[in-house]
């Protein structure tokens, strides 16, 4: 297979970027998208050119690092799939593929396709944890948890913090990410003692980091590789309102 790759190249945050075209051939259809990028970078290095910078780590759909906007969609054309799980057989031979970084002021471009997502880290540090003593491992079975709540909590905890929800949102809102991190604790008994202060701290930090407002278009849910439900946003809004009244 062969492709024309239109890749965003940008030296740093303060430098203007531009699309650069690259031709790549002899691509195996069973290659992952990141393996194809590796092949391209090998060719660029052999030519004495700068390789394309992109984020990656586990390459198993777990870490959320492989953040690329591919042909106008976060993580590419396949639903519920991270970029590292996307294969070249999902594209047509001879196709032109446009590859961009996440586009959000809260995710400034570091270089090429790599963005700074430390704003997510700051939100987690504000309240995405349980600091009170919830007992030892052997005490877990002594605290019954409704199965429906446990399932919903696990679904929310599946969020990998990749930022696709922000990239897909026209307002660059982080509400799906924050609501997932709030919900995974709010649904469990261990998270109740800090429930109010957690949601206030995380939402306030989200706003301080400059993320946009949620207008419920559902683009975040549609592009989330882990299919996190926007019902979590409704739960966050209820918790935030209740915590604000009790404050």
In this structure, the answer to whether residues 129 and 233 fall within a common structural domain is yes
In this structure, the answer to whether residues 100 and 123 fall within a common structural domain is no
Range of the domain at 169: 117-246
Q: From start to end of the chain, where are the E strands?
A: 3-9, 18-24, 69-70, 73-74, 96-100, 109-111, 114-115
For position 17, which CATH number holds?
A: 3.10.20.30
Three-state SS at 194? coil
CA distance 81 to 29: 17
Residue where a domain terminates, one of 84, 111, 138: 111
| Token digits of residue 73 | 């969609």
Question: Residue 93: its pLDDT value, please?
Answer: 97
CA distance 121 to 16: 26
CA distance 141 to 32: 41
Buried b / exposed e over 74-103, threshold 16 CB at 10 Å, is bbbebeebbbbbbbbeebeeeeebebbbbe
Print pLDDT tens along the chain (247 aa): 999 999 999 999 999 999 999 999 999 999 999 999 999 999 999 999 999 999 999 999 999 999 999 999 999 999 999 999 999 999 999 999 999 999 999 999 999 999 999 999 999 999 999 998 877 777 777 888 999 999 999 999 999 999 999 999 999 999 999 999 999 999 999 999 999 999 999 999 999 999 999 999 999 999 999 999 999 999 999 999 999 998 7
Helix count and strand count (H, E) for the chain: 8, 7
| Interacting residues of 55 by C-beta distance below 8 A, sequence separation 6+ | 65, 66, 67, 113, 114, 115
| Token digits of residue 231 | 């019902």
In this structure, the answer to whether residues 144 and 238 fall within a common structural domain is yes
Question: Residue 199: its pLDDT value, please?
Answer: 98
Residue pair 123/110 in contact (Cβ under 8 Å)? The answer is no
CA distance 240 to 116: 27
The DSSP symbol for 137 reads G
Question: Residue 142: its pLDDT value, please?
Answer: 80
In this structure, the answer to whether residues 131 and 148 fall within a common structural domain is yes
Output the CA–CA distances (angstroms, integers) from residue 35 to 2, 54, 209, in the order listed: 14, 12, 33
Question: Residue 212: its pLDDT value, please?
Answer: 97
Residue where a domain terminates, one of 111, 131, 146: 111
Question: Residue 123: its pLDDT value, please?
Answer: 98
Residue pair 162/82 in contact (Cβ under 8 Å)? The answer is yes
Three-state SS at 127? helix
Q: What is the CA radius of gyration of the chain?
A: 20
In this structure, the answer to whether residues 131 and 226 fall within a common structural domain is yes
In this structure, the answer to whether residues 107 and 217 fall within a common structural domain is no
Question: Residue 14: its pLDDT value, please?
Answer: 95
Question: Residue 162: its pLDDT value, please?
Answer: 98
Beta pairing, strands 3-9 & 96-100: parallel
In this structure, the answer to whether residues 140 and 49 fall within a common structural domain is no
Residue where a domain terminates, one of 78, 111, 144: 111
Question: Residue 138: its pLDDT value, please?
Answer: 74
| Token digits of residue 217 | 């278009």
Three-state SS at 73? strand
Query: In angstroms, how far is CA 125 from the centroid of its own chain?
Result: 17
pTM of the model: 0.95
Structural domains in the chain (count): 2
């Amino acid at each position: 297979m062969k492709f024309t790759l239109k890749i965003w190249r940008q030296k740093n945050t303060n430098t203007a970027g531009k699309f650069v075209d690259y031709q790549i051939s002899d691509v195996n259809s069973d290659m992952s998208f990141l393996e194809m990028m590796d092949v391209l970078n090998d060719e660029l290095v052999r030519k004495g050119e700068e390789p394309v910078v992109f984020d990656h780590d586990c390459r198993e759909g777990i870490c959320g690092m492989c953040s690329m906007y591919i042909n106008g969609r976060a993580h590419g054309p396949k639903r519920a799939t991270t970029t590292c799980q996307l294969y070249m057989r999902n594209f047509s031979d001879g196709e032109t593929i446009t590859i961009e970084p996440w586009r959000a002021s809260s995710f400034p471009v570091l270089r090429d396709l790599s963005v700074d997502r430390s704003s997510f880290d700051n939100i987690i540090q504000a309240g995405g944890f349980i600091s009170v003593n919830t007992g030892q491992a052997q005490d877990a079975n002594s605290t019954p948890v409704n199965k429906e709540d446990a399932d919903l909590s696990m679904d929310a905890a599946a969020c990998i913090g990749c930022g696709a929800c922000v990239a897909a949102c026209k307002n660059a809102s982080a509400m799906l990410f924050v609501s997932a991190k709030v919900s995974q604790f709010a649904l469990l008994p261990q998270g109740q003692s800090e429930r109010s202060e957690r949601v206030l701290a995380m939402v306030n930090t989200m706003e301080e980091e400059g993320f946009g407002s949620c207008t419920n278009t559902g683009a975040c849910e549609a592009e989330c590789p882990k299919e996190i439900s926007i019902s979590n946003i409704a739960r966050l809004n209820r918790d935030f309102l209740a915590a604000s009244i009790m404050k």
